[in-house]
Amino acid sequence: MSSYYYTEQKAYGGYDYRITRAVQRLILLNSAVFAVQLLLDVPLGGVAMFGPPGGLIAENLSFQPVSFLVGMVWQPVTYMFLHGNLMHVFFNMLWLYFFGPDVERALGTRQFVVFYLLCGALGVMATFVPLVFQVALPFLQARNVSVVGASGAVMGVMIAFAIVNPHRQFFMFPIPVPINARMLVAIVIVINLLNAAPGSPTSVATHFGGMAVGYAYMKFIPYFRDRQRTYWQSRRKPPKKDSAGEQVDNIFHFDKHKRN
């Protein structure tokens, strides 16, 4: 997109692989929360229960559609900082590490944090879509749905990465040839479709929800910036004339056609 100006290309033809501030803080925060989950797991009875480590606290902070509808409005935000196991948090943070810095450089740190939270919080709302189609099942079965993890937010970051830098090439195991960001998005979509079978432990709806929010956000931001720029330019007032300066100019102004 022409509305994004990318500056990571260096003089020697490389890229800036340094981690950015918000990405670093998010990785540390997610890691710290998972460590707290493990510490709380045994005393709060998490080992004897299904679900993420952390016992009852983790259950109340994870996203559960029925609980959200009855007033637990914090769950769309808190769920994305919880994880089910070590591999879960590791791969989510690994993808955030690879794709997040480029997106943060394009959006700016503050806007990137807003983008990340929106992709996670709005993306998980897509879990209501499969429940609508389960009309043949008892409504109470929806209580078993519990979503944790930063996958929705990370999927949104991946989509933003593909929009900002679609031709970046890299290797993805076990594919032996380099692929670009657009091809990666296509592969991830196919993998999620294959995992969308009933009973899958993966919240595919949240993944697709995060992708949709990320795509809409990145497409809307250039339009929003242009409208905002036009608005402030229209509100800008012309500079006031300096009356004192005009008086001084009149004193030293001589009209050659007027003579005494």
CA dist 165 and 162 (Å) reads 5
pTM above 0.85, yes or no: no
Q: Specify the pLDDT at position 8.
A: 42
Q: Specify the pLDDT at position 238.
A: 60
The amino acid occupying position 7 is T
Domains of the chain and CATH, by start: 21-234 (1.20.1540.10)
Q: Over the stretch 211-247, which tens digit does the pLDDT of each residue have?
A: 999 999 998 877 776 666 676 667 776 655 555 555 5
Q: Over the stretch 22-51, which tens digit does the pLDDT of each residue have?
A: 999 999 999 999 999 988 877 665 544 556
At 63, is the secondary structure helix, strand, or coil? strand
The mean of the pLDDT values for the chain is 79
Phi first, then psi: give them for residue 36, nearest 5 degrees. -65, -40
Q: Over the stretch 58-102, which tens digit does the pLDDT of each residue have?
A: 888 999 888 888 889 999 999 999 998 899 999 999 999 999 999
Show the DSSP H helices in 11-85 as ranges.
21-41, 55-61, 65-69, 75-78
CB 192 within 8 A of CB 207: yes
CA dist 104 and 62 (Å) reads 26
Q: Over the stretch 110-158, which tens digit does the pLDDT of each residue have?
A: 999 999 999 999 999 998 887 766 654 444 444 457 899 999 999 999 9
Residue 1 has pLDDT above 50, yes or no: no
Encoded tokens for 197 = 């079978």
To 10 degrees, what angle do helices 151-164 and 109-123 make? 130
CB 73 within 8 A of CB 67: no
What is the rounded (10 degree) CA torsion for 164, 170, 175, 176? 150
Q: Specify the pLDDT at position 59.
A: 86
